[in-house]
Structure 1
Amino acid sequence: MPSENVVVEGFTVVPMKVDEKSHGSHYLYMKEHSVREANPCKPRDRTLFVLNIPPYCTEEVLQYMFSGCGQVQTVHLHNKPTSGPSAVNQSNFFPTAPLIQGYKVGYVVFKKASSVKKARSLPFDVPLIMQGKGAPTIKSGIEKWCSDYQADVLDRSTLQAEIDTYMAEYDRKVQEEMERAKASEGVPDDEGWVTVTRFGKNKAAPRTEAHEKAISGKEKRRRKEKELLNFYSFQIRQTKRDQIANLRQKFEEDKQRISLMKEARKFRPY
């Protein structure tokens, strides 16, 4: 009886084992990668989307298992589904890409589109083998623990070389920024604004006549603004004095009016 594949909600279910002697199986769920905005690194017709990838399964192991379906071009592993490429750490000592932990999702990119159809038609009763002839080594147990420990030990010479390279690149960028600032200083842009930076061309140059006129003009404007401010303050004080005088005059008039009213209410029978 020919073997048949099992499809659950659009995903082809394929078992996998560590080696031929293993009794337990782990199951992968896969289908053709299909998104609205395709990424060049994951073409739709040549990419296989795989779920439930165990933590000990690497890109090399995944490439080995699916090599029977056709030539594998690249393999991308992620924590969750995404259309972008895999994050790559530029530094061995200062990682920027997040560490993938636990079960993963993968994208297997084949060289031909027919390989995706072949992978989707894999039978359910023929598991994929992780360990075999020419397969990458899977480290586990004490061997994996020792390997992870050795990877955490820093190599001083390599670390120093990476730091020197980084600082040299940083100094080069700072120097280029200073040169661009010096070149653009004093040159008006399209709107007429002039960029002034702390990287001056002539820091110790003597003042010219035009410079002296500009400084004297600023001083005159500053004194004029100060005098104008004082003038406004005097107006405010004078206005307050006038208001107080008017209130006092009104108070005296009210006192006289009240006294007249009291005199008019007195009882005089004779």
Structure 2
Amino acid sequence: MAAGKKMCVKEKTPEGPPSPPGYRALPIKFSREQASSHFLYVREHRVRGGARSRWPPERTLFVLNVPPYCLEGCLARLFSVCGPVQSVHLHEKPEAGQPPQEPPSAQFCPKPEPGFQVAYVVFRTSAAVPKATALRGPLVISAQSHPVKTGIEKWAADYADSLVDPEALRQEVDKFMADYDKKMAAEDAKAEAEEGVPDEEGWVKVTRRGRQPGLPRAEAASLRLLEKEKRKKARKELLNFYAWQHRETQREHLARLRKKFEEDKQRIALLRAQRKFRPY
């Protein structure tokens, strides 16, 4: 190396873990003994101008990459150091402004497969959101005061939660049948009100109860009903009820066939006679 030249060595600056633009990486550990950390990506929940959101503005923290073992209670405990937590909501993917539809049954609602989710942490005050985005970890999920169930304990708890409570099931079935009876009663009342009243073209709606007597009927509808009854009555008439009537009908049919056969023979013979060649 030539004398008089100095080398410039750049010092490496410590950098945090990579994160999506606009998010801050927050390390968490399942327990204190765990060597590696899992990263949550947090930022203040914002929506575009004019868009609606069911989450309160300036009080909601949006969290990405939430592991399956980190439930609502765990997130509420982790972020409670920043301020009182009002609610925590976990979803498979970011939700739109409309609230999700409630399942038709609380007893037979299929649970989603566990996986990484997103979370909306709603604080009671807006001052807690900047503190949450400035947190430095790692935070511990499972502690002695708040242990997280794993292994056989978790499987047993999941199995116990999957069992249907008979009393709750009975109440849900009773409520469903009561709502169904009200719906059917409303439909019956509507059908009774519309029954027997002709529309603009004169058609009358007839249900399984039949037409109520004494109701007015349009003239066109009456004529159509009479024609329909006549056709129905004509179809019900029995032809050739007796055996001798059936035999007479067959004889007449055979006689017509023989007569037609003789006429055809005569016509063919006449045509053949007209086709003969006669030069003289």
Q: TM-score, normalised by structure 2?
A: 0.62
- In structure 2, the CA distance between the partners of 1:56 and 1:45, relative to structure 1 (3 Å rule), is same
Residue of structure 2 in register with 1:12 after alignment: 24
Residue of structure 1 in register with 2:45 after alignment: 33
- In structure 2, the CA distance between the partners of 1:185 and 1:133, relative to structure 1 (3 Å rule), is farther
- In structure 2, the CA distance between the partners of 1:121 and 1:180, relative to structure 1 (3 Å rule), is same
Residue of structure 2 in register with 1:111 after alignment: 124
1:23 aligns with 2:12: no
Report if aligned partners of 2:196, 2:206 keep a CA contact under 8 Å in 1: no
Q: Of 157, 160, 184, which aligns to 1:150?
A: 160
Residue of structure 1 in register with 2:213 after alignment: 205
Deviations 1:151-196 (A, max 9, x none): 233344433332222122111111122223334556799x999984
Report if aligned partners of 1:13, 1:30 keep a CA contact under 8 Å in 2: yes
Query: What fraction of aligned residue pairs are identical, expressed as a percent?
Result: 38
For the residues of structure 1 that align with 2:169 and 2:151, how far apart are their CA atoms? 29
For the residues of structure 2 that align with 1:120 and 1:172, how far apart are their CA atoms? 51
Residue of structure 2 in register with 1:175 after alignment: 185
- Spell out the pairing of 1:230-245 with structure 2 (5 A cutoff): none
Residue of structure 1 in register with 2:92 after alignment: 79
Which stretch of the first structure deviates more once superposed, 160-169 or 137-146? Answer: 160-169
> Matched residue of 1:69: which SS?
coil
1:127 aligns with 2:117: no
Q: CA deviation at 1:40?
A: 4.9
Whichever residue aligns with residue 154 of structure 1, its letter is V
Q: CA deviation at 1:24?
A: 3.0
Q: Of 77, 100, 120, which aligns to 1:64?
A: 77
Report if aligned partners of 1:46, 1:112 keep a CA contact under 8 Å in 2: yes
Residue of structure 1 in register with 2:9 after alignment: none
Aligned positions, number: 214
Report if aligned partners of 2:17, 2:25 keep a CA contact under 8 Å in 1: yes
For the residues of structure 1 that align with 2:179 and 2:158, how far apart are their CA atoms? 31
1:95 aligns with 2:73: no
Which stretch of the first structure deviates more once superposed, 173-182 or 50-59? Answer: 173-182
- In structure 2, the CA distance between the partners of 1:218 and 1:75, relative to structure 1 (3 Å rule), is same
Report if aligned partners of 1:15, 1:25 keep a CA contact under 8 Å in 2: yes
Whichever residue aligns with residue 205 of structure 1, its letter is P
Report if aligned partners of 2:197, 2:205 keep a CA contact under 8 Å in 1: no
Q: CA deviation at 1:56?
A: 1.1
Report if aligned partners of 2:93, 2:118 keep a CA contact under 8 Å in 1: yes
Q: CA deviation at 1:148?
A: 1.6
For the residues of structure 2 that align with 1:162 and 1:81, how far apart are their CA atoms? 31
Whichever residue aligns with residue 171 of structure 2, its letter is A
**What is the aligned-residue RMSD (CA, Å)?**
3.7
The structure where helix makes up a greater share of residues is: 1
> Matched residue of 1:30: which SS?
strand
Q: CA deviation at 1:99?
A: 1.6
Indicate the structure whose relative CO is greater, using CA pairs within 8 Å and at least 6 residues apart. 1
Deviations 1:36-85 (A, max 9, x none): 25545312322111111000111111111111111212211111112344
For the residues of structure 1 that align with 2:229 and 2:53, how far apart are their CA atoms? 62
Unaligned 5+ runs, structure 1: 224-270
